[in-house]
Amino acid sequence: NAGVMQNPRHLVRRRGQEARLRCSPMKGHSHVYWYRQLPEEGLKFMVYLQKENIIDESGMPKERFSAEFPKEGPSILRIQQVVRGDSAAYFCASSPGLTTGELFFGEGSRLTVL
């Protein structure tokens, strides 16, 4: 029974390029969450999505960042025109329904911006 799958695990981009991070939730889970983590810090909430809907995007930067969770396929976190400050680990989590706080996390995608 596959868990939350994230890819790529590691991504290197130069300043100004685009980064696309993908997340396939656990089977049967229709809610996806994206978090960002800097070294030795906790996880910062970015966005909460349900299939084809953004439920809460209060943690998303206003520019360059977008997220989607289409009817078919994985959730995508897209960062346009990356800057060095975007370097971080991005974690995706899923749940079967409304948040109870019990989330299942992927292993993360580590973005390095040169």
Partner 1 sequence: TQLLEQSPQFLSIQEGENLTVYCNSSSVFSSLQWYRQEPGEGPVLLVTVVTGGEVKKLKRLTFQFGDARKDSSLHITAAQPGDTGLYLCAGVYNQGGKLIFGQGTELSVKP
- Which residues sit at the interface with partner 1, rule CB under 8 A? 4, 33, 35, 40-45, 48, 56, 58-59, 91, 93, 98-108
Single-letter residue type at 6: Q
Buried b (16+ CB within 10 A) or exposed e, 14-27: eeeeebebbbbbbe
Of residues 80 and 99, the one with the C-beta less far from partner 1: 99
For partner 1, give the closer residue by CB, 17 or 66. Answer: 66
CA distance 16 to 3: 32
CB of 15 or CB of 51, closer to partner 1: 51
CB of 81 to partner 1, least distance (A): 26
Cα separation, 60 vs 78, in Å, equals: 11
CB of 41 to partner 1, least distance (A): 6
Question: Which residue lies nearer to partner 1 by CB, 17 or 45?
Answer: 45
Minimum distance from CB of 65 to partner 1 (Å)?
16
Distance between CA atoms of residues 18 and 83, nearest Å:
10
Q: Are strands 5-7 and 19-24 parallel, antiparallel or unpaired?
A: antiparallel
